[in-house]
Chain A
């Protein structure tokens, strides 16, 4: 069997195992939290009878083990069930939210990944001179400011004062692509600022590392232009750490942007998950947890495969 195929199948099996353990952990976690879904739905205005009736209706009186295995059985058959709180079909409502999250993450990635790599290359080319310092300074500053603060600043200056873009990034099916892009302009801008520094710094460090090698000196002595040396000769050998950090940031863009979602009122997965955790809606929390775990495992697997493919020594082991 080809080593890459073997690795992928090993990783897939491990990933599935991980998903199982994640679902157990999430379930146990939601059981430990104080209060249950019935109490959370009815809130302060819950009467004991109403609580008892709701618990019975939602099947909360079954033992936890039974509830977990019932859920697992249904999930393995492709049925994520319905939300305990409002009875909506989880697959449909989560699908819409996931679509929104991926839409936002996609556009943030399309801008930030090439920009980060390009800025990284530029920083290496002008190492220790003012462009390098400027790029590092600006990106480090933007990653150091909490994202909600950047969000509020952007909302105040761009949306309220200048009125260029909308402060409420609410998108819906009735909007054209252009309208949607206009609506998400500000959150995309904030996300780009947040993920830029990490990727750019890693690109710069990885390439600088390679630049010490003898073959780079050879390339320089051949008389190649310095940008050509960096892009053609150094970059391919620095790809593996760069891909790793890019994938980590992509995962962040999918699973970690709840704060940006709240500031810009964006209907993504983060807010959806938080709402359901607050209400102890276990089936939805489970479904979201599986999707998030799946995204992490998947993106990390891609990163590993790409680094193997990029490295001839790993690609053709002796």
Chain B
């Protein structure tokens, strides 16, 4: 019987048999309709990508104020737009490895200080111009020069000099960094013709799709680039990205078949959505985490006993169960989890322990006045509820928390990184060094816990230059423990990326670095 099914599967795969015929024929062999459909899906999958069709994406985070300028991308729709038209030098793949895109070869000197990228030949921009190392140099200049307003400015700050020679682009760093190629995969760093100096928001790059319609906050239509250099990617003819910010409207659009994929499925409805016919919910654990942050230089949080008291007073598992409904994992008061390379699995998990919390609280000598925690729903989905849970679990340890609700509007400019204790969110970074350098180095702009520790800084820089991965892993483990036991971060949970996907979409890959396959959905999937 198996031979017969295999034969039928091959026929479907080759397009010689319809779905209805297939289900009928295997049904005759005693297979139920549901099982037949699953077989069919795998048969189609195995047969390889089908070309054509319009992939419709319903995405959160699209505003009328959006621009296609890669330097300014800060929400979901602009992020996904970038991956339609643009490409970076290298890509971080779903398994955490690096893949060369516009760079053909990446090399460094033995001290990891000078990096050379050989630029791929025979690649054209959408405007017909050929890609050169000069374009790469100009792009990096635009994101790092004195007038830069780029979101990538911070990660390019360590570059001392850059140059383009022939078909190679090379840069020299002030201090060695073994992870530099990962930084080049940042989504802001889409290579644009002449660096995009002339018209940064033109939407012209080397990517698989070319701009057709640009209506910020409404929709973006992209057409297949006929001259795209990599024939293994970009199977659909058109990609339409609809900005659907309202969660209910987004789910309705998926259920009524108006879009094929949606991002940011609310954990509250994920179970229901997954049971709807023709739809599956895809979740993948990533580096993004929901946090409560304390300024370690501001009273009363300058007392490590008080910080430890609060860290022991939070029930992490309860938060994962009630706020994330299981779509996530518990945090350990450090910004790193198993989704990062070189993560040390042996670091002990911190548990909710009201007794230890009470002991630390007593040792801190705090006067018993309520500790003000500022929170808004915009900090992370369910932040207000999470704060209420925190208040209750802390109360059990005798620690009084006072929750102060702040407006969503202006939260990131007025509360976060300004007030000493508030709720926040971190999207995570591809490698540990980048996460720590972004938010825990003394000199970091976004050191939102005011964690300033000379010992930590020195170790972080040493780890960055260390090329032996065993030693490096041990160093990162030590750094993690420092943040966990001395830092101002209370990290109750890492959230999953939860997407809703129609069964028409084939070739889905779980990519832990972002929603909708980290922006690469349109490059890799096809429509059945």
Contact = CB atoms under 8 A, between A and B. Distances in A.
Interface stretch (A6-14, A33-41, A130-138, A218-226): A33-41
Interface in B67-99: 67, 69, 72, 74-75
Contacts of A34: 409-410, 413-414
Given A34-B414, A265-B242, A57 B147 contact: yes
Contacts of B67: 85-87
A111 interface: no
Contacts of B259: 168
A148 to B, nearest CB: 9
Given A48-B445, A168-B244, A278 B63 contact: yes
B150 A50 contact: yes
A282 to B, nearest CB: 12
Contacts of A155: 248-249, 252
Contacts of A281: 65
B256 interface: yes
A93 B64 contact: yes
A20 interface: no
Given A34-B410, A88-B216, A262 B249 contact: yes
A272 B64 CA distance: 6
B151 interface: yes
Interface in B460-484: none
Interface string B186-205: 00000000000000010000
Interface in B237-255: 242-246, 248-249, 252-253, 255
The bracket for how many chain B residues form the interface is 35 or more
Contact of B252 (A36, A93, A96, A160): A160
A27 interface: no
A157 B249 CA distance: 13
Most chain A beta-carbon contacts within 10 A, residue among B74, B243, B252: B252
A143 interface: no
A263 B246 contact: yes
B249 A47 contact: no
A50 B249 contact: no
B245 A262 contact: yes
Interface string B397-414: 000000000000110111
A51 B66 CA distance: 17
B42 interface: no
A167 interface: yes
Contact of A49 (B148, B201, B249, B253): B148
Nearest to A55: B149
Contacts of A86: 65-67, 69, 72, 201, 216
Contact of A45 (B74, B246, B252, B413): B74
Nearest to A165: B256
B219 interface: yes
Nearest to B276: A160
Nearest to B438: A45
B413 A271 contact: no
A152 B72 contact: no
A292 interface: no
A304 to B, nearest CB: 34
B409 to A, nearest CB: 6
B216 A41 contact: no
A237 interface: no
B519 interface: no
B256 A35 contact: no
Interface of A: 33-36, 38-45, 47-51, 53-54, 57, 83, 85-88, 93, 96-97, 152, 155-156, 159-160, 163, 166-168, 170, 172, 262-265, 267, 271-272, 275-276, 278-279, 281
Interface of B: 58, 63-67, 69, 72, 74-75, 146-151, 153-154, 201, 213, 215-219, 242-246, 248-249, 252-253, 255-259, 409-410, 412-414, 416, 425, 445-446
Given A42-B149, A87-B67, A167-B258, 18 more contacts: A33-B410, A34-B414, A35-B412, A42-B151, A43-B74, A44-B416, A45-B151, A49-B153, A53-B148, A57-B147, A152-B248, A155-B248, A160-B255, A167-B249, A170-B242, A265-B242, A275-B63, A276-B64
